[in-house]
Structure 1
Amino acid sequence: MSTCKATHHKKEVIFYAAVTISTLVIGTVYECFSHQVYSPFMYLLFLIPLLLGLVPNLLAQKLHKHFLSSENAKAAYKMGVLTLIFGSFLKGVFDIYGTHSVYPSFYLPVGLLLLLVALCFEIHQRKGRAK
C-alpha cells in the first residue's frame, strides 16, 4: 500500500474515531442534564459512527483493502452517516423533552438513501476500473 493511500486510510479512521468520541461525549453530557429522562436515540448515538464508519474502515485497513475507493462514494457515505447521527440526536432531544415532531422521521430514509447512493457510486467506480 502506498504512503498516500495509507495516509488516506488514517484520515478516514481518525475522522470516524473523532465523530464516535464526540457523539459519545455529547450523548453522555446531554443525558446527564436530562433530569433522569433517557432516550436510546441519545445514549446509543455513538454506535452509528462506530459501526458504520470506524469498524469498516479499521477492517479494511487491517485487510489492506479500501472500504470505499471512490471520492464520490466516500462523500455520500459520510453525509449518510452524519444524517443518521443528526436524526438520532434530534429524535433523542424530542424524546427527552417529551415532544413530538415529524422531522426526525425524515432523517432515517434520507440517511439510508445516501448510503445507497454511496454504494451505487462505488459499484460504478469499480465497473469503470474493470473495463
Structure 2
Amino acid sequence: MDVDPLRRRLAASGAWLFALGMVTGLWAAAVLTERVTVGLPRLALAAHLNALLGGMWLVLVGATIDMLHYGEIGRRRLAWVVIVPAWANWLVTLVASVLGVTGLEYSHDTANNAVAALLHSLVVLPSLVGAFAWAWGLARR
C-alpha cells in the first residue's frame, strides 16, 4: 500500500508522542505517589496528558490531511504547525514540573519567565494557528 509520506510523518510523530506520553505516565505515577520529588507534581500528570492528547491530534490531522483544500505546500506547513506545538507542549510542561514553575504568567522568576515564553511561542500561538487552519481547511473543501 502506497501511503502519502506527509500522512505517514504525522501518524508516526503522533504515535511516538503517544508512546512517550505513556512512559511519562509512569513518571507521573512516581511523582504523584511521592517516590520522586519535583517542584510541581501535577504538571508531571499534565505532561503525560499533553503527550497523549497531542499524539492523538497528530494522528487525526494525518488521517484528514487529504481532505483539506490546501495544496502540497499548505499541507506541509500545517503538518509542521501542529507537530511542533504538540511535542513542545509535552516537553516544556515536563521541564516546568521539574523546575517547579507554571509559566502561566510572567513574574520575577527567570525560570518561570523562560517557561512562559516557550509556552507562548512554541505551544499557544502555533496551536491556535494550527487548529484554525485545520478546521478552515476541512470546512472549505
Separation of aligned partners in 1, 2:62 and 2:79: 14
Q: In the alignment, does 2:59 pair up with 1:57?
A: yes
* 1:15 equivalent in structure 2: 13
Separation of aligned partners in 2, 1:59 and 1:122: 8
Separation of aligned partners in 1, 2:119 and 2:67: 22
**Counterpart amino acid of 2:119?**
L
Note the C-alpha offset of 1:125. 6.9
Identity of aligned residues (%): 12
Corresponding residue to 2:115 among 90, 93, 104: 104
User: Size of the alignment, in residue pairs?
Assistant: 122
Q: In the alignment, does 2:99 pair up with 1:94?
A: yes
Q: Where does 1:46-85 land on structure 2 (aligned, <5 Å)?
A: 46-55=48-57, 57-58=59-60, 61=63, 65-66=64-65, 70-85=75-90
CA gap 1:36/1:60 in 2 versus in 1, 3 angstroms: closer
TM-score when scaled to structure 2? 0.60
Is 1:87–1:104's contact at 8 Å kept on the other side of the alignment?
Answer: yes
Is 1:76–1:118's contact at 8 Å kept on the other side of the alignment?
Answer: yes
**Counterpart amino acid of 2:42?**
P
Q: Secondary structure at the match of 1:34?
A: coil
Note the C-alpha offset of 1:68. 8.2
Note the C-alpha offset of 1:93. 0.5
Unaligned runs of 5+ in 1: none
Separation of aligned partners in 1, 2:90 and 2:67: 20
RMSD: 3.9
